[in-house]
Amino acid sequence: MNLYLTLLIAVVLVVFLPKFGGLALYKEHSKKKLKETIEDALKYLIDRQYQGNMPSRDSLGGKLRLNQAQTTELVENMESQGLVGSKGMNLMLTPEGEKLGIRIIRAHRLWEKFLADEAKMPLDKIHKEAHRLEHTTTKEQLDQMEADMGYPTHDPHGDPIPSLGGKIVEIEKASITEWEVGLTARIIEIEDEPQMAYQQLAATGIRLGMNVRVLEHTKDRIILSDGQTMFKLAPVIASNIQVTKITESELKVHELPNLHNLKPKQKAEIVSLDDTVQGFTRRRFLDLGMTPGATIYPELENFFGEPRAYRIRGTLIALRSDQAKQIKVKVQE
């Protein structure tokens, strides 16, 4: 009898022990799960709002893969917290809901930027990891990470990162499928959904910041060129590419050679760093003296090709080819 009583007490303690009991842990897990679901819902509602659409309860439930009862419970919870309001079957964000939603978007895009640029994680992996981290990062940690990366303005897909004050700066853009044949444009966004299309674009070498000219556009294919490589894409894949106009001065810089093109001992003047060079990498380049006007040239060749040694401001530095290709130069006579 004493053994049974001991076992019963042990079971009660395991289940009902404050903080560490099974029931307490279950409640904590449910609370955390609800918080994440609400934050995901706010992100979706903000996205629809910026597209000029008024989302419905059904569309929210479909996005989050919730049944009707779960969706109703979620909306009621958000309404009780003052995050959303209802207009018939449609949902509207309150100022407090919009503020919290933008903070989550800011966290997601900053994490994607960090994972891609600093952690060198493959682009098709960063979304899932950023989604996990966005729910656990404090505002103070976000502010510090943003400062460490040099206050980036866009994530690796080209989406604008909300500022500390919650402002989202949108750039006028259009799908490459709507661009006129013969005109050059800059790629400012590559949509990451559907994932298959995004992975196919990444495999071709198409990247953000690239200037491309539309060479051909038919119902079966679109051919783009960056001046060195031609990219043949199906229109349904190309539709994931968003572009914007470039100025005449920007076009002239684009046509300049990059550091990687220099011959041994050929001197050149640094004109600019590629827009894709951000965060710790950009600060490292600047610390090494790679500022506009500085003279640089390849001094030592590597038998294996990588890295290559360059002389700048009296110092010898080593750069990989992918790094040298991000630096535009003007060859000195």
Distance CA 209, CA 188 (A): 6
pLDDT value for 7: 65
Question: CA nearest 242: which of 321, 122, 157?
Answer: 157
Residue 30 lies in a domain: yes
Residue 288 lies in a domain: yes
Q: Which residue has the tokens 């679901």?
A: 37
pTM (two decimals): 0.65
DSSP 305: S
* Token duo for residue 189: 């966004």
Residue 43 lies in a domain: yes
Q: What is the CATH number of the domain that holds 30?
A: 1.10.10.10
Residue 64 lies in a domain: yes
Please count the other Cβ atoms lying within 10 Å of the Cβ belonging to residue 248. Answer: 6
Question: CA nearest 46: which of 107, 127, 114?
Answer: 107
| Domain final residue, candidates 37, 72, 93 | 93
Cβ neighbours for 268, distance < 8 A, ≥ 6 positions apart? 257, 259, 262, 295, 296, 297, 329, 330, 331, 332
Q: Tens of pLDDT along the chain (333 residues)?
A: 566 666 666 655 555 556 655 555 556 667 788 889 999 999 999 888 877 778 888 898 898 898 999 999 999 999 999 999 988 778 989 999 999 999 999 999 999 988 988 888 887 788 889 999 999 888 899 888 888 887 888 888 778 888 877 777 777 888 999 999 988 888 888 887 787 888 888 888 888 878 888 999 998 999 999 878 899 999 999 999 999 888 777 777 777 888 988 898 999 999 988 876 776 777 888 888 888 899 999 987 777 777 889 999 988 988 888 888 888 999 987
- Count of positions (residues) in the chain: 333
Q: For the chain, how are helix, strand and coil distributed in percent, rounded to 5? A: 45, 20, 35
Residue 101 lies in a domain: no
Residue 13 lies in a domain: no
Tell me, yes or no, whether 326 and 264 share the same domain.
yes
Tell me, yes or no, whether 223 and 266 share the same domain.
no
Tell me, yes or no, whether 261 and 246 share the same domain.
no
* Token duo for residue 24: 């307490």
DSSP 257: P
Distance CA 80, CA 43 (A): 18
| Domain final residue, candidates 68, 93, 118 | 93
Q: What's 267-291 look like in SS3?
A: CEEEEEECCCCCHHHHHHHHHCCCC
Q: What is the CATH number of the domain that holds 231?
A: 2.30.30.90
Residue 28 lies in a domain: yes
Tell me, yes or no, whether 261 and 314 share the same domain.
yes
Span 105-132, pLDDT tens digits: 999 999 998 898 888 888 778 888 999 9
Expressed as residue numbers, the domain containing 195 is 174-250
Tell me, yes or no, whether 245 and 260 share the same domain.
no
* Token duo for residue 175: 């799908």
How many C-alpha atoms does 130 have within 13 Å on its Cβ side? 25
How many structural domains is the chain composed of?
3
| Domain final residue, candidates 250, 268, 298 | 250
Distance CA 57, CA 63 (A): 10
Q: How far is CA 6 from CA 3, 10, 13, in A?
A: 5, 6, 11
Residue 243 lies in a domain: yes
What does residue 277 show for φ and ψ, rounded to 5 degrees? Answer: -80, 105
Tell me, yes or no, whether 263 and 317 share the same domain.
yes
